[in-house]
Structure 1
Amino acid sequence: MKNSKVLSFLLLLLFFVDCSATDISKRERIIEYFHVNGVMQSIEQNAVLGVEEMKRSNPKLPVEFWNSDSFKSAIQWWKEAYLDAYVEVAIKNISDAELDELIAFHKTDLGKRFLALNIRIQPHYNKVSAKLFGEFSDKFKGLVREYSKP
């Protein structure tokens, strides 16, 4: 009886180790895919735009705040959380075969041109998005003030 419990435990442990190794391997491949398809660059651009929007929305905060280690650490956390969330979505929605095909495509001449086009256009999309978000944020604050009036 004791041997079967030990064997069951070892099999269960082997299963979890195997699953973790597969997930780590797939995670690394997805991050490679994110490097070749511009997602990593997009995360960096979004962080820059996010900081610009925060500065616009909080003009009274001193320069020392924006340059503080705490703020920089918070932005780094945000970028890592963003990447982790995207990786989890990709793990659940992109098969191994699809991942191999996507990586291979983005390494071809056509894939590189496609990526270059997207990278060239993405900052413009990001700026439009940040501008619209800022405008919406201002409208939202106005609505909240109106709603809060007695």
Structure 2
Amino acid sequence: MKKIILVAVLLLTSMYGFSQESSIQEKAVKLIKMTSGQQFEIMTEPVVKMIPEENREAFKKELLTSMEDLYAQIAEVYVENFSEAELDEILAFYHTPVGEKMVAITPELTKKGMEIGQQWGMQLQPMIAKYSK
């Protein structure tokens, strides 16, 4: 009887630990989707446009599936660096008016930032050439 109780306790403990890890993982994925999902969509737009029109919908479907895997992998990094309580606080911020605004305008900020970065990179060409001799 003691063995059965011990096994039951071990199973319940491991299940509790798994559910906690699942919960924190889910919160990390939610945060990534909330803060970076639109950015990933912007970054993949040029790739989608390279696909022939007749194959785009199938490609987008497969791309979205692969992005779920990407989110899960990135979430592991978040889980390593934030506690569940910290993720709760970050998520709470993104549900405030300022946080919602941040999420809403981040794609535009990213797009403009990339354009500025490209222009800056072009300006570096003469400097790179000067020091590459």
The 3 A distance-change label for structure 1 pair 116 and 74 is closer
1:104 is matched with which residue?
Answer: 92
| Cα displacement string for residues 24-77 of structure 1 (whole angstroms, at most 9, x for unaligned residues) | 2223322333354x222223223324434xx2xxxxxx72673373x3443123
The TM-score with structure 2 as length reference comes to 0.65
Instruction: Give the partner amino acid of 1:112.
Output: E
Summarize the alignment of residues 12-51 of structure 1 with structure 2, pairs less than 5 Å apart: 12-36=10-34, 38-51=35-48
1:82 is matched with which residue?
Answer: 70
State how far apart, in whole Å, the 2-side matches of 1:98 and 1:11 are.
29
Q: Any unmatched runs of 5+ in structure 2? A: 122-133
State how far apart, in whole Å, the 2-side matches of 1:13 and 1:22 are.
14
The 3 A distance-change label for structure 1 pair 77 and 6 is same
Q: Any unmatched runs of 5+ in structure 1? A: 56-61, 133-150
State how far apart, in whole Å, the 1-side matches of 2:30 and 2:41 are.
16
State how far apart, in whole Å, the 1-side matches of 2:103 and 2:61 are.
30
The TM-score with structure 1 as length reference comes to 0.59
Identical counterparts, % of pairs: 23
State how far apart, in whole Å, the 1-side matches of 2:85 and 2:23 are.
14
